[in-house]
Amino acid sequence: MFQSVEKPRTVTVNRQAGLLVIDWQDSHHSEYPLSGIRAVCPCVSCRGGHAEMAKPIARAQLFAQPNGSSEVQGAEFVGAYAISFTWADGHNTGIYTWSLLRSLCPCAACD
Ligand SMILES: [Zn+2]
Ligand SMILES: [Zn+2]
């Protein structure tokens, strides 16, 4: 798995295409399906409790059906290290660190 402290240069939510697009400072380009971003929501309740929090999130989950809306209503940076989303059903407790997102990059080079 890619262990990185990379930071994004630009982060774009493309609602029409249903994609989260990140251009990283090292020029890597990542496109994530928003449904998958919802499916990998790293919050305690989506992970199934505190005991599950230590387990790594598998990249395959990016292509799983989300357990809730995958329509993004808003996105907000959390300090310098993460981003959080507000989904159309009101869920907003997932904090996605850049290192998590980078490790989940579904492109062929990261596979
Ligand atoms: Zn969640
Ligand atoms: Zn990649």
Report the separation in Å between the CA atom of 79 and the middle of ligand 2, taken as the mean of its atom positions: 23
Which residues have a Cβ under 8 Å from the Cβ of 100 and sit 6 or more positions away? 40, 42, 57
Position 111 scores a pLDDT of 81
- Closest listed ligand to the CA of 24: 2
Average pLDDT, the chain: 93
CATH topology for 8-103? NE0471 N-terminal domain-like (3.30.2020)
- Closest listed ligand to the CA of 89: 1
So where are the chain's domains? 8-103
Position 6 scores a pLDDT of 81
Instruction: Label residue 5 by pLDDT band (50, 70, 90).
Output: low
pLDDT digits (tens, 9 = 90+) for 16-68: 999 999 999 999 999 999 999 999 999 999 999 999 888 889 999 999 999 89
Q: Please tell me the distance from the alpha carbon of residue 34 to that of residue 18, in angstroms, as a whole number.
A: 5
